[in-house]
Amino acid sequence: MTTAAMPPPTVPVLAPFHPHCARVVSIRQESPGIATYELTFDDVATRGRYRFSPGQFNMLYLPGIGESAISISSDPHRPERLLHTIRAVGNVTRALARKRPGDQVLLRGPFGSSWPVDECRGRDVVIAAGGVGLPPLRPLLYDVVHRRDQFGRVTLLYGARTPGDLLFTREYDAWRKAGIDVEMTVDIGDESWNGHIGVVPSLFDRVTLDAPQTRVLTGGPEIMMRFVIYEALNRGVRPRDAYLSLERNMNCAVGFCGHCQLGPTFICKDGPVFSYERMEPFLRVEDF
């Protein structure tokens, strides 16, 4: 069987081991424990050189605390406005959550492979995300909006634990106006919620797929992504036409430390975006 080629990992436009100084421009609270940080490079020349592709990530470094791999959640057509949506769950991300506008962080990147935008052109696209799996996919949504006439039907299936945990709610109407079907679900509703209740894979019941013409891209908890892909496969989508973004213990971003190795691949260097066909044999490996 021939595997559809994935976009090769993009070589960082900045020196991969050299952290660059950046400042926090603004902070937007998205949901409890999750905020979006807008950064800008101190050096004007660095700011002008920086480019990224949808699905890539940066390494954010706080001296004396550590470094963390954070997906880029901004518009690739506006690289000067660099956004990272961060959940405070570890030492580095909790320290980042204490930052305020004007504070400095250090940044390396961008790193990793990207979503197969060229492969999706002329096709129907289903984007399925759960929780903080949406930020790595938001740059792709922006790219679709900019080039909407180059894609077929585009559908976003997105879910979170509660209505208050849904991210980027202020943007849904703009995505719909751009011709993207947006379907949402939550695990637990409240008195204000009159939408769907259930897991993200259940939203496939609302989508009519032309399987040979459809590409499925998913991000979020691994168990959710597996069942998203199972639903897609059950509807005739080929394993090579389903893509997922993995995030496992990425410490160095260049494949040297080995912490993110999964089978023969390094998630940071060879991913984080992979075709399901390539990664299916290794997804049974537990993340320790």
Cβ contact 270:113 at 8 Å: yes
Are residues 89 and 56 both part of a single domain? yes
Are residues 103 and 124 both part of a single domain? no
The mean pLDDT of the chain is 92
Q: What is the pLDDT of residue 256?
A: 87
Q: What is the pLDDT of residue 2?
A: 42
Which of 84, 111, 138 marks a domain boundary? 111
Are residues 166 and 275 both part of a single domain? yes
How many CB atoms neighbour CB 168 within 10 A?
Answer: 19
pLDDT tens column, 225-254 = 999 999 999 999 999 999 999 987 788 888
Q: What is the pLDDT of residue 14?
A: 65
Per-residue pLDDT band at 25 (split at 50, 70, 90): very high
pLDDT tens column, 177-220 = 999 999 999 999 988 899 999 999 999 999 999 999 999 999 99
Are residues 77 and 147 both part of a single domain? no
- Report the CATH number at residue 98: 2.40.30.10
Are residues 49 and 167 both part of a single domain? no
End-to-end CA distance of the chain: 32
Q: What is the pLDDT of residue 4?
A: 45
What does the pLDDT average to over 44-59?
A: 94
Cβ contact 26:74 at 8 Å: no
pLDDT tens column, 113-160 = 999 999 999 999 999 999 999 999 999 999 999 999 999 999 999 999
Q: What is the pLDDT of residue 10?
A: 52
- Report the CATH number at residue 256: 3.40.50.80
Burial of 102 (C-beta count, 10 Å sphere; 0-12/13-18/19+): exposed
Q: Which two tokens stand for residue 159?
A: 């879910």
Domain that holds residue 52: 20-111
Which of 94, 111, 128 marks a domain boundary? 111
Per-residue pLDDT band at 5 (split at 50, 70, 90): very low
Which of 80, 95, 111 marks a domain boundary? 111
Q: What is the pLDDT of residue 1?
A: 40
Q: What is the pLDDT of residue 12?
A: 58
Secondary structure (3-state) at 209? coil
Are residues 95 and 142 both part of a single domain? no
Are residues 212 and 145 both part of a single domain? yes
Whole-prediction pTM: 0.91
Q: What is the pLDDT of residue 116?
A: 96
Are residues 186 and 124 both part of a single domain? yes
Domain count, the chain: 2
pLDDT tens column, 64-111 = 999 999 999 999 999 888 999 999 998 999 999 999 999 999 999 999
Phi, psi of 34 (to 5 degrees): -130, 130
Are residues 65 and 163 both part of a single domain? no
Secondary structure (3-state) at 55? coil
Q: What is the pLDDT of residue 58?
A: 96
What does the pLDDT average to over 40-52?
A: 93
